[in-house]
Structure 1
Amino acid sequence: MSTCDKDISYSDLKALLAKGSGFLVDVRGKDEVARGRIPGSIHIPVESVEKDMSLDAAEFQSKFGVVKPSLDSSELVFHCQMGRRGAVATEKARSLGFANARNYAGGYKEWSEKGGK
């Protein structure tokens, strides 16, 4: 599988979030998230992705307050600060069966530089 179908661009992510249909997971550390985050994202540190994305739907909703994405969701996106941890998290999610999971390779750094809101 090529890298391009695993990544999502800034403009595509903005469009997805504007529709209200994106499921964005911030995999940075708690201290990084405290300094700023992409609105609507949920925080699952990269080291917890496998465990948390393996929770059953009820446990996931109880822990995060949102409905767990389906395995075939095309709107599941992971991101970190600059792309590397997001790519790792995307691979972990794909190995769990989230076949269409993608990485926002620009990360929070690009989001904040472009004034994303």
Structure 2
Amino acid sequence: MATYEEVKDVPNQPDKYLFDVRNKSELEETGVLPASINIPLPELENALNLPDDAFTKTYGRPKPAIDAVMIFSCKAGGRAARASNMARTLGFTNAKAYAGSWTEWQEKEGAQ
């Protein structure tokens, strides 16, 4: 599992990936996590199976290497857990969920 502190440090870690698997309408309502790439959960498997150049063109960042640290976030952690399991099934060895996801992020950021 990824922690709030780890997610907060992602913008300083260019080798790590933060994927927000919420739907675009949810992001419009709440905002986005810094340095995150939005790939809604129903699109994730196809996205992770894209050829490298197509992934880069679609998401504006090189496709993660098979051993890259990949953190998945959603609203409360359920979809993030499913996303990290899916990524591991596809062979990505360092996929993990941010259990607190947007709910925890918003609480901790609002408290500062």
For normalisation by structure 1, the TM-score amounts to 0.87
Partners of 1:96 and 1:52 in 2: CA distance: 11
Counterpart in 2 of 1:4? none
**Secondary structure at the counterpart of residue 94 of structure 1:** helix
RMSD, aligned CA:
1.4
Q: Is 1:93 matched with 2:87?
A: yes
The sequence identity of aligned pairs, in percent, is 39
Larger mean CA deviation between 13-22 and 76-85 belongs to 13-22
Counterpart in 1 of 2:33? 38
Q: Is 1:84 matched with 2:97?
A: no
Partners of 1:8 and 1:47 in 2: CA distance: 22
Q: Which runs of 5+ in 1 are unaligned?
A: 1-6
Q: Output the amino acid matched with 1:46.
A: L
Structure 1 residue 16 displacement after superposition? 3.6
Structure 1 residue 99 displacement after superposition? 1.2
Partners of 1:112 and 1:17 in 2: CA distance: 17
Partners of 1:103 and 1:18 in 2: CA distance: 19
Counterpart in 2 of 1:70? 65
Q: Is 1:48 matched with 2:43?
A: yes
Structure 1 residue 14 displacement after superposition? 1.8
Q: Which has the higher strand share?
A: 2
Q: Output the amino acid matched with 1:32.
A: E
Instruction: Provide the aligned length of Structure 1 versus Structure 2.
Output: 109
Partners of 1:45 and 1:71 in 2: CA distance: 20
Counterpart in 2 of 1:108? 102
Partners of 2:8 and 2:15 in 1: CA distance: 11
Partners of 2:13 and 2:56 in 1: CA distance: 21
**Secondary structure at the counterpart of residue 71 of structure 1:** coil
Q: After the TM superposition, list the runs of 4 or more consecutive aligned residues in structure 1 that deviate by more than 6 angstroms.
A: none
Among 8, 13, 20, which residue is 1:19 paired with? 13
Q: Output the amino acid matched with 1:106.
A: G
Structure 1 residue 30 displacement after superposition? 1.1
**Secondary structure at the counterpart of residue 62 of structure 1:** helix
For normalisation by structure 2, the TM-score amounts to 0.90
